[in-house]
Structure 1
Amino acid sequence: MFNAALIALSAAALFGATTPLAKILLGALSPFMVAGLFYLGSGIGLACCILIRRLRQNTRERGHESHIPPAEVPWLLGAIVAGGIAGPALLMLGLSSTPAATSSLLLNLEGVLTAAIAWIVFRENVDVQVFLGMVAIVAGGLLLSWQGAAGVPTGALLIVGACLCWAIDNNLTRKVSTHDAMTIACIKGLAAGCVNLSIALLLGAHLPATAKLAAALFTGFAGYGVSLVLFVVALRHLGTARTGAYFSVAPLFGVALSLAIWPEAPPVAFWLAALFMAAGVWLHIRERHEHVHTHEALEHNHPHTHDEHHRHAHPFPYDGDEPHTHPHRHAPITHSHAHYPDIHHRHSH
């Protein structure tokens, strides 16, 4: 699972870097404009990548592409509304009144909320160690947000609201994670970008100059587009709660970049919060889950290699290339090994 963890951490690094960059862009652009351009850059960039990929594919590869069935479209639409429209808007509004370093660490709560929803609503297994990690991250978030008698500032609450929206998005996206990650991220980017940009223009905002427009689009492509593609792939292999745990590292990259852009001495509470959150992430990473489990018969379509879960024949000439994509069937099997609640281990305990 090391490769899957590395994929999740790469997604975290790209997304974490967008927070301080968004803070810079907010100086001249409205929150909805920034969110719209970020997602639109994501969708346009990934659409170009999909086009290039299709031009390089042969006829057989195109025929085996995974398509989202009608029954799963509502899950994708829900993910778009929660994570592509509400989430970024709340984040941009929160960033306008919250220091970038504090905002970056608050985004750790996304992983906690993602795991909580996966555990409580979707019944995904979450071990005690993962739960303790969530407690540590929540403690760090409270340290960052609470300001004595003044209570929790509105900006921090808006960022927490964004985290909740993305947590819902993550759990809904898991439902379609077996399908092409680039297509999923592209659809979400184009839809969310058009909606947020339309809202910004209706509220009187104007498109920025060419240089700032290009910067926003490229930042969105890398920080929202490529990051989301990697995140969906990680969901496929690690499950929602574990991927959310690895993604909790994202704010650490944001903090490093924000302190490089705006050098300052963080307060003591900042370091205490960072310590709690680092401990929570460490507990998540150390978690190991192993027991005897049974795989029911399953048919689906996703990129795979011929590991112990993929022992099947091919109804077409197979040249040995891996990973490859085609519809395949899993026969029932009972065995024991270390695993995560990936697309092949969504069983009860």
Structure 2
Amino acid sequence: MKSLDFSPAVLAALGAAALFGASTPFAKLLVGGLSPFLLAGLLYLGSGIGLTLVRLFRDRGWKSPGLPMAEWPWLLGAIAAGGVAGPVLLMAGLAHTEAATASLLLNLEAVLTAVLAWVVFRENADRRIVLGMVLIVAGGALLAVPGAGQATAGLAGPALIAAACLAWAVDNNLTRKVSASDALFIAGIKGLVAGSVNLGVALFAGSTLPTVTVAAPAMLIGFLGYGVSLVLFVLALRGLGAARTGAYFSTAPFIGAATAILMLGDSTSLQFWLASGLMAAGVWLHLTERHEHEHTHEALEHRHRHVHDAHHQHEHDFEWDGTEPHTHPHRHIPVTHKHAHYPDIHHRHRHS
């Protein structure tokens, strides 16, 4: 029987899933009283402001993020897809779908993330990952059938949530391109830009700013469920790649569904539990995957937080006090070896 993998990158992905999954039912409580754009703006502003304050405290003031110019287009594209389009589509979909069902439908994000990673960005896939995705898609399709628990009959709610998942899938793959950079900066700037855009659109459309008693909870949900969650997600992308991070993140909907059932009293049906079983089986296949083969690392130069492990055997051109982990530009020499690995920032090689 295969054992579960709980490496730091996996734990980061599961932590991101837990925070985001629990945020969906809480956001559902705010739907109706606020427009989708206004709610999305508050969620992301809470994320951006909170993470920026954390970063300022960590660095004892403002410091340049050191993001290379070539990576800015990837980050801006991720902000547009995941920070602007995704949350608005989700909030609109929640208005037509019960929170528990919506939470499980969010599993489609993992599937679409993986498909884009494989087809567009050429990450590798094995049979366990593919089969797991098939089971998750089957569960999502079952939930989309009228009668599976939607608050309003029809496919409008599930279709909007599926569109949000596609937006976040694009976001995940673009963020993978910048995942070696400061996770706090990436998540914080995404929150500030996306929150400002969504809030501006809401005010232009005629919405008015809510009272503090409404705005504060929304921003707190955003800080934890979108901000801290995204920081952990970026760290997981760095260690796992987009497809597998999405696979681990697919535990989020189960946390959201459980929260909705326990806290909001959402109703369930036979379809709901059948879909849950299919999706749970798919997630288990992902959590028990192991990928190992002989591979070659080409020469590579980049900058990220690291320790001197098997992949970081380099000299320093500055006086080093031995502190680890640390951050500086460094060069990897070509090496061929064999060990269990994921398509992280050091293992983005092709497979024969």
Pick the TM interval, shorter chain.
over 0.9
TM-score by length of 1: 0.95
Aligned to 1:334: 336
Aligned to 2:289: 287
Give the superposition deviation at 1:205: 1.1
| Native 8 Å contact 1:294 1:333 kept in 2 | yes
Aligned to 1:346: 348
Q: Aligned ranges for residues 78-97 of structure 1 at < 5 Å?
A: 78-97=77-96
What is the Cα-based RMSD across aligned positions, in Å?
1.5
Question: For the residues of structure 1 that align with 2:254 and 2:61, how far apart are their CA atoms?
Answer: 37
| Native 8 Å contact 1:66 1:301 kept in 2 | no
Give the superposition deviation at 1:317: 2.2
| Native 8 Å contact 2:260 2:266 kept in 1 | no
| Native 8 Å contact 2:65 2:185 kept in 1 | no
Verify: 1:50 aligned to 2:55, yes or no: yes
SS in structure 2 of the partner of residue 176 of structure 1: coil
| Native 8 Å contact 2:306 2:326 kept in 1 | yes
Question: For the residues of structure 2 that align with 1:168 and 1:27, how far apart are their CA atoms?
Answer: 28
| Native 8 Å contact 1:4 1:237 kept in 2 | yes
SS in structure 1 of the partner of residue 184 of structure 2: helix
| Native 8 Å contact 2:298 2:334 kept in 1 | yes
Deviates more, 1:178-187 or 1:313-322: 313-322
Verify: 1:7 aligned to 2:7, yes or no: no
Aligned to 1:130: 129
Point out where structure 1 has 5 or more consecutive residues left out of the alignment.
none
Q: Aligned ranges for residues 216-295 of structure 1 at < 5 Å?
A: 216-295=218-297
Are residues 152 and 288 of structure 1, via their aligned partners in 2, closer, same or farther at CA, if it must alter by over 3 Å?
A: farther
Give the superposition deviation at 1:235: 0.2
Question: For the residues of structure 2 that align with 1:112 and 1:321, how far apart are their CA atoms?
Answer: 40
Of the three residues 153, 157, 166, the one matched with 1:164 is: 166
Are residues 217 and 207 of structure 1, via their aligned partners in 2, closer, same or farther at CA, if it must alter by over 3 Å?
A: same
Question: For the residues of structure 2 that align with 1:264 and 1:45, how far apart are their CA atoms?
Answer: 31
Give the superposition deviation at 1:264: 4.5
Give the superposition deviation at 1:56: 7.8
**Percent of paired sites with the same residue:** 63
Verify: 1:100 aligned to 2:99, yes or no: yes
Aligned residue pairs total 342
Give the superposition deviation at 1:316: 2.0
Give, as a single letter, the amino acid of the residue that structure 1 aligns with 2:278.
F
| Native 8 Å contact 2:16 2:230 kept in 1 | yes
Give the superposition deviation at 1:262: 1.9
| Native 8 Å contact 1:66 1:326 kept in 2 | no
Give the superposition deviation at 1:152: 5.2
Give the superposition deviation at 1:167: 0.3
Question: For the residues of structure 2 that align with 1:104 and 1:8, how far apart are their CA atoms?
Answer: 17
Of the three residues 4, 16, 19, the one matched with 2:21 is: 16
Point out where structure 2 has 5 or more consecutive residues left out of the alignment.
1-5
Question: For the residues of structure 2 that align with 1:15 and 1:22, how far apart are their CA atoms?
Answer: 10
Question: For the residues of structure 2 that align with 1:330 and 1:310, how far apart are their CA atoms?
Answer: 7
SS in structure 2 of the partner of residue 316 of structure 1: coil
Aligned to 1:39: 44
| Native 8 Å contact 1:292 1:334 kept in 2 | yes
The Cα offsets for residues 171-222 of structure 1, whole Å up to 9 and x where unpaired, read as 0000000100110011110110001111111111111111111111111011
Question: For the residues of structure 2 that align with 1:56 and 1:187, how far apart are their CA atoms?
Answer: 16
Of the three residues 168, 180, 183, the one matched with 1:181 is: 183
